[in-house]
Amino acid sequence: MKYTLVTAARNEEKFIETTIQSVVAQTSLPEWWVIVDDGSTDRTAEIVESYASRYPWIELLRRPKRLDRNFAAKAHAVNAGLEQLQPLQFEVIGNLDADVSFEPDYMQFVMQKFADDPELGVAGTPFTEEGYDSTKDSFEGENYVAGPCQLFRRRCFQEIGGYVPNPAGGVDWIAVMTARMKGWKVQSFSEKRFHHHRTMGTAERGVLAALFSYGEKDYYLGGSPVWQLCRVAYRIKKKPVLTGGLALLFGYTWAAIRRVKRPVSPELVRFHRREQMKKLGTVLRTLLRFKKIDNFSLGNAKRETH
């Protein structure tokens, strides 16, 4: 399977060299990698240029400087990179953030998954951050691929219309959920991990601000209020304890009060809520099963003491 990569990078001098070193060390190299410098004011472009001069399949694409950092700009940057790839022959396109790293056989592993299953539209793996593992600490499950490292079958990416620019975020989420809604298989393969070197959503802002923003995003992407309350209850126990969960709740509530316009179709909202209720039902059934096992074990223990 031939693949290409696109990376949108803005002020990523702290991590981008680690990402580049991960890619150039791969046992299966990309056909081409476009790194889009999205108006950086630091040494990001200089670092990329130093590698592009040594590796002919790395291309630096510069975009004008801008004042703010927003998700629509990231989508525009990725789409600009994709235009550079159109003449090439490849089967898989990967969106790679500029602050991730992985083992040398990571891409070979994912490409094999695409080769094995022609219905696989989006693939990736869980990820780790400092003190966080998305397999254990996320509600998304194996049928979701996180934004920092998403790989799409080219036909699937074209069918969903690529990344849809949305200033408020959720660009990668919309792409994955649209693929699922259109019948493509989406899977995160737990045999491997990539490492995300910065807590998601915290670029140029703090953790609580990022969680508040995630709460807003949960609303305008059509998330169910029931699901959100469960998510908040789960998040309250994680660091920052209590305040993290409350930030999520306040973000969702604030967006609901303002009736923020949703950038997704009613069809996708309905599909999303059905999926959330299915997952919530699975979680509840699992908890009840464990409760029955605990009660059974406790009953046996009591009988053995008499």
- Quote the pLDDT of residue 262: 86
| Boundary-marking domain end, from 161, 196, 231 | 196
Q: What would the mean pLDDT of 185-191 be, rounded to a whole number?
A: 97
Q: Does the pLDDT of residue 21 top 80, yes or no?
A: yes
Read off the tokens for 231: 């998510």
Give the model confidence (pLDDT) of 30-40 as tens digits: 999 999 999 99
Indicate whether 71 belongs to any domain. Answer: yes
- Quote the pLDDT of residue 204: 56
Indicate whether 212 belongs to any domain. Answer: yes
Q: What would the mean pLDDT of 134-160 be, rounded to a whole number?
A: 90
Give the model confidence (pLDDT) of 50-109 as tens digits: 999 999 999 999 998 766 656 678 788 888 999 999 999 999 999 999 999 999 999 999
Are both 220 and 172 inside the same structural domain? no
- Quote the pLDDT of residue 303: 54
Are both 77 and 183 inside the same structural domain? yes
Taking the model in full, what pTM does it have? 0.83
Give the model confidence (pLDDT) of 148-181 as tens digits: 999 999 999 999 999 988 776 788 999 999 999 9
One DSSP character per residue, the chain reads --EEEEEEESS-TTTHHHHHHHHHT-SS--SEEEEEEES-SSSHHHHHHHHHTT-TTEEEEEE---S---HHHHHHHHHHHHHHHTTS--SEEEEE-TTEE--TTHHHHHHHHHHH-TTEEEEE--EEETTEEHHHH-SS-TT---TTEEEEEHHHHHHTTSPPP-TTS-HHHHHHHHHHHTT-EEEE-TT--EEESS-TT-TTS-HHHHHHHHHHHHHHTT--HHHHHHHHHHHTTSSSTTHHHHHHHHHHHHHHHHTPPPSS-HHHHHHHHHHHHHHHHHHHHHHHHHHHHHHHHHHHHHHHH-
Indicate whether 86 belongs to any domain. Answer: yes
Mean pLDDT, rounded, of the chain: 89
Indicate whether 262 belongs to any domain. Answer: yes
Give the domain extent around 170: 3-196
Are both 186 and 281 inside the same structural domain? no
CATH of the domain at 74: 3.90.550.10
Are both 90 and 170 inside the same structural domain? yes
Q: What would the mean pLDDT of 227-249 be, rounded to a whole number?
A: 91
Q: Which of 134-143, 144-153, 168-177, 225-234 has the lowest mean pLDDT?
A: 134-143
Q: What would the mean pLDDT of 211-221 be, rounded to a whole number?
A: 90
Are both 211 and 162 inside the same structural domain? no
Indicate whether 145 belongs to any domain. Answer: yes
pLDDT above 70: percentage of residues in the chain: 90
Domain count, the chain: 2
Are both 249 and 102 inside the same structural domain? no
| Boundary-marking domain end, from 196, 225, 258 | 196
| Boundary-marking domain end, from 196, 230, 258 | 196
- Quote the pLDDT of residue 167: 72
Are both 90 and 133 inside the same structural domain? yes
pLDDT greater at residue 142 or residue 55: 55
- Quote the pLDDT of residue 274: 94
Indicate whether 201 belongs to any domain. Answer: no
Are both 177 and 253 inside the same structural domain? no
Indicate whether 56 belongs to any domain. Answer: yes
Are both 165 and 142 inside the same structural domain? yes
Q: How confident is the model at residue 220 (pLDDT cuts 50, 70, 90)?
A: confident
Are both 21 and 147 inside the same structural domain? yes
- Quote the pLDDT of residue 160: 94
CA distance 177 to 200: 19
